Structure 1
Amino acid sequence: MTDPNTRASSTALSPALVLIAEDEAEIADILIAYLQRSGLRTQHASDGHQALALHQMLKPDLILLDVQMPQLDGWKVLSEIRTRGDTPVIMLTALDQDIDKLMGLRLGADDYVVKPFNPAEVVARVEAVLRRTRVSAPAVTQMLRVGPFQIDLDSHEASVQQNGQAHTLELTLTEFKLLACLMRSPKRVFSRAELLVNCLPEGDTQERTVDSHISKLRKKLDALDIQGVPASVWGVGYRFGAEP
């Protein structure tokens, strides 16, 4: 059955999101720079637990996964990812041993790169895997609708119906991302940490920054006489609106 919030479109696929699970910051920065230069979006996880959390939350198109990760090693992360679905995974390792390659392939890795590597080669392998896995994916325009709210994710336009009239919401990029994130799962409570990773620029690291953006979003909605959006859940975070 077709998702009522998603309609077919002839527009091209959005740039793929690559999750880089790598604990060595210098290597991660190099990969981020090369991938972004090639037009891909990136997100970084510095340990195994964070990699799994970001995979669950962001649904990346591909994961570059270091074998020797703190908290959970790459094999355990890969095994868990395979229980969730078929997200493409390219393993990164400093161990040039056949046993490691065989383990990765047995657990379902799509490719395998040995350190030290040429980052341009890694980008080429990423693009090759993405071509195989994304070629049959339908291009879509997502339209989110919850109550009187409507968001067009392609055009980055948000509006609300009030007294039979549609009002365009003049939102900053961060406010738009926050509202869209909450609307995707309107009954779910998101922690500040989740919203920080998902919606705020990478330079923002303080969870309380989320509160400031939520407050500004509320003021804009209050001006249209819309109360309680987003709703606070004390001690946890935010959801789209109060429970009915």
Structure 2
Amino acid sequence: MLTDAQRRSFWSSGYLPLGQVAAPHQARALRCEFENLTNPASPAVPEDHLMRSPDGGHIRVGLHLCHLSSLFRTLAIDPAVMDMIGRLFGEEPAALTSLVFNKPPRIGEELLAHQDLAYYPYLGADDLITCWIALDDVDLANGAVQYLPGTHRTAIAHERTGQQQALAINPASLDDDNTVSVALTSGEAVAHHGLTVHRSAPNTSSRPRLGAAILYIRASTTVSAADFPYPALTREAEDRA
């Protein structure tokens, strides 16, 4: 359970390291699951759920995996994680979706500065929290997430980058002198507000860098099928199932 001080820190800075949320063997299982789901010989993920590198050489992002995989669904509705996110919201959360970000050794591309909420304009300003979970040890050399603290208070205009409809903020509009890089060991997590500006550098190391991001909304938030293709995952719905 998060403390009042941690909750205040999150709402002050826009992000909060959460510590260990998955055991090393769970992180390894999720890594294997991603590899199995995206195996070219028998892919279990639709092509429109994948974002590839510009040359088509590797998958950069896998979308909606908690709606396609029992392992990723179990992670998304993990009681300990949902309790922490619920504490940040101040009410019960629901998992909207999850993504896997892949930066292979030496060729993993940078992720440009953006706010997650720009992709979900039908949500309110304080209705999205992302939990980013390292499935490999992550540091600055292999592409740790970098935050601009305090940027969660204002929505910033985004531009299309041309890379599979990705959105990014014009660097000229950012003051990045106070950028914070969050290093994580496998299974550790960091939560950030849907408006917190963040990015990650290319993987220039010889180590892999895989991370899972679970996007949580307030369970009271209504999201229509026209806005999002899958229903949000709640603990109550899973209990009934």
Query: What is the TM-score normalised by the length of structure 1?
Result: 0.22
Structure possessing the higher radius of gyration over alpha carbons: 1
Query: What is the TM-score normalised by the length of structure 2?
Result: 0.22
